[in-house]
Structure 1
Amino acid sequence: MNMQLSLLPDIDTMYDALVRKDSSFEGVFFAAIKTTGIFCRPTCHARKPKAENVEYFGNSKEALDHGYRPCKVCHPMEMKGVVPSWLKSLLDDIEATPNIRINDQNLRERGLDPTRVRRWFKKNHGITFQAYLRSLRINNAFGQIRQGDQVIQSAYSNGFESLSGFLDSFKNSTGFSPKESNHKNVISVTRIPTPLGPMIAGATDNGICLLEFTDRRMIETQVERLRKYLKAELIPGQSPFFETLTLELNQYFEGKLQQFTVPLETPGTEFQQKVWKVLQDIPYGKTRSYKEQAIAINNLKAIRAVATANGDNRIAIIIPCHRVIGSDGSMTGYGGGVWRKQKLLELERKNC
């Protein structure tokens, strides 16, 4: 029997997840099929085997060490959320030139199928490829106007063929006109792949204001609250903070970083600010109970309110609400899923 099974969910739970292609178990286990000699993600669309023909591993290396080959259907060696190789050069060009215009014919000239590209963007960003490009150009124009460029100059420099088209697109995306840019905010958003699944990151001019797993419960509610606090719209775009954030997240998951330095912006109530501050005071690799958190803010009666404020945290991992557990040591609720909480704590304890 696999010695790592003690760190995994029970076999019935894993087999049920495998049958249902449950994406919430991505990163929790890999399923190795004895009859074929291959191993798969929990979400693999290949034909499902009988329960007695499956064994489970906590990571791909263990499966390889036991002689299994990676599945050619679900590609378990690739981190979930990583940009596929066939798309990488296109996204590199877009990142280098955010005002670029690319139509279907341009995609074909690059050897890309427009339908395939469109499907990937709908699945991973919730919008079409053209809408993604348009959002990047709007975001870029917003920054230029904030820096003093004229509206008409920003419109044409970002590939819009008419001023009226630019004005309509800008207002539809941001909710305000270009002339109001100096008094408004935009939150640039991007996706960052991690070993526990893709995360959505948001940044203002002041720092990172959003970092959540894309399948987190109530993420829409969290985003809406952020919009209201900052009076801003979320638009796909670039931020100087994203490079630092991505680097530090990679180092964290490699066990090489214990303290993040990327600036944060955390709008909230005075009570929430206190709770989030003491969360950041919990040492790497350690845990506290909700009662201990309440004591840390000098309000022992506020245990339930502390738990609620933990749940309202919009910056996962960096503001480490995963380090708060039940008084009896139990894994209490976590917006990103209890299994992720367990994985994060295991990672930190291993690298203390």
Structure 2
Amino acid sequence: MMMFDLPDSQTLYAALLARDAAYDGRAYVGVSSTGIFCRLTCPARKPKYENCQFFDTPGACIEAGFRACKRCHPLSAAAGNDPMVQSLLAALDQRPAYRWAEGDIVALGHDPSTVRRAFKRQFGITFLEMARQRRLREGFTALGAGEPVIAAQIDAGFDSPSAFRAAFARLVGIAPGAFRKDAQLLVDWIDTPLGAMLAVACQHRLHLLEFADRKALPREVAKLQKRQPGGLGFGRPAVTDQAAEELARYFSGQTARFETPLAYHGTAFETEVWRALRDIPVGQTRSYGALARDLGRAGASRAVARANGANQIAVMIPCHRVLGADGSLTGYGGGLWRKQRLIEIERSLAAAATEPAQRAKA
């Protein structure tokens, strides 16, 4: 089942409150205040609606940065009666910080290709991807809580500080030991249904917002540091909280209105393009050529495309609303599958906004 086959978030929240067994195995809830995801029948105290994100698979919950609940065991429930999957989940619970490899799967008496297919079928991600996400998230959480690098390394299950620094550097381009306690720019993690995002903000503005698996993220962080010297630190200012709340409302289909104050780190032309992107009505798209004409710069479609690609604030500056001249999806740093999902979300929002007017005419 795909995410868009799920009922709206209000319906799912009502099912959560009622512990409706009809949704067991069909929908899961991630709770942003705890970082945990559950079955809708979980006996734990129910979270507030604004802290809930709903997903169609456990794998989507894990990719968004949530950990499995220890009361309702959503992974075990999704695994059904498959003893191989159940045994591997139990092994992962026993050694969450271990660096799992295919050799370990073989040592447990399983065929790696069979395990890969089974986990993909049940959860949408492989066993090794599940283990890797868990390790990295635990390390990031430890750093965000103010733990030293060595503690974060241990929490994330890396064999040495150098290995942890290398893994973290691949994610953001900066070794964790280089982060500063007195920095003006603070980094934190925002969970979304399309995957974890990294946010960089000061006390007044959001400077960067990108999906954590974007390959260009280290380059974007380096570019930001050149424009905004003073280093980076870990933390969550009010601006990041505001961004997280607005993103939650966006992904739950409530609104595409973003009021988080943004910092535009670009040339005058790039800033002009980024503002024009925000002026494209929700549910609509433009070609690069059409956007150039809107700016009074007909013939500058390539320059517009470059400015589009230089955008460092995903979703809120909606570069996903720009398509090729033939209407096809074109390059998107977060992945074309995410671009398609974002366009679908906004078309649904636009359609919902026009329904009252259509009913009034009828």
Shorter-chain TM band: 0.5 to 0.7
Distance change in 2, residues 1:120/1:255 (3 Å)? closer
Q: Distance in 2 between matches of 1:314 and 1:233?
A: 17
Q: Larger radius of gyration, structure 1 or 2?
A: 1
Q: CA deviation at 1:172?
A: 4.7
User: Is 1:194–1:250's contact at 8 Å kept on the other side of the alignment?
Assistant: yes
Match of 2:160 in 1: none
Instruction: Structure 2: state its 5+ residue gaps.
Output: 6-24, 27-38, 41-56, 71-93, 99-130, 150-175, 351-362
Contact 1:190–1:202 under 8 Å retained in 2: yes
| Offset at residue 124 of structure 1 (A) | 2.4
Identify which of 216, 219, 242 aligns with 1:218.
216
State how far apart, in whole Å, the 1-side matches of 2:95 and 2:234 are: 22
Q: 2:197 maps to what in 1?
A: 199
Residue of structure 1 in register with 2:179 after alignment: 173
1:82 aligned partner: 65
- Please name the residue that 2:107 is paired with: none
Query: Quick one: structure 1 residues 296 and 130, their matched pair in 2 at CA, closer, same or farther if it must change by over 3 Å?
Result: closer
Q: Deviations over 1:159-194 (max 9, x none)?
A: xxxxxxxxxxx99533xxx8xx6xxx5211111111
In 1, distance between residues paired with 2:237 and 2:261?
12
Q: 1:290 to 1:345 in 2, by over 3 A?
A: same
Q: Does 1:315 align with 2:346?
A: no
TM-score by length of 2: 0.54
Q: Name the residue aligned to 1:227.
A: 225
The 1:211/1:218 distance shift into structure 2, 3 A limit, reads: same
Counterpart position of 2:293: 295
- Report the Cα distance in structure 1 between the residues aligned to 2:280 and 2:60, rounded to whole angstroms: 33
Distance 1:299 1:235, change over 3 A: same
Secondary structure at the counterpart of residue 301 of structure 1:
coil
**Structure 1 residues 347, 339: closer, same or farther in 2, change over 3 A?**
same
Aligned residues: 224
1:234 deviates by 2.4
Secondary structure (helix, strand or coil) at the match of 2:269 reads helix
Per the TM alignment, residue 85 of structure 1 is displaced from its structure 2 partner at its CA by: 5.2
Q: 1:79 to 1:195 in 2, by over 3 A?
A: farther
Tell me what 2:51 maps to. none
Task: Give the unaligned 5+ runs of structure 1.
Answer: 8-37, 40-59, 62-73, 88-111, 137-169
1:245 corresponding residue in structure 2: 243
Q: Which residue of 1 aligns with 2:17?
A: none
Of the three residues 318, 325, 328, the one matched with 2:326 is: 328
Give 1:333 shift: 0.6
Asked if residue 129 in structure 1 is aligned to residue 142 in structure 2, the reply is: yes
1:347 matched residue in structure 2: 345
Pair 1:120–1:283, CA change in 2 (3 A):
closer
Residue matched to 1:142: none
Give the C-alpha shift of residue 291 in structure 1: 0.6
Alignment deviations for residues 284-331 of structure 1 (CA, whole Å, 9 cap, x no partner): 110011011111222123211110110110001100000000111010
State how 1:149-168 maps to structure 2 within 5 Å: none
Classify 1:209/1:135 alpha carbon distance in 2 versus 1 (closer, same or farther; 3 Å).
farther
The CA RMSD measured in Å over matched residues stands at: 3.8
Cα 1:79–1:255 change in 2 (3 A) is: farther
CA distance in 2, matches of 1:198, 1:250: 12
Kindly provide the amino acid, as one letter, of the partner of residue 247 in structure 1.
E
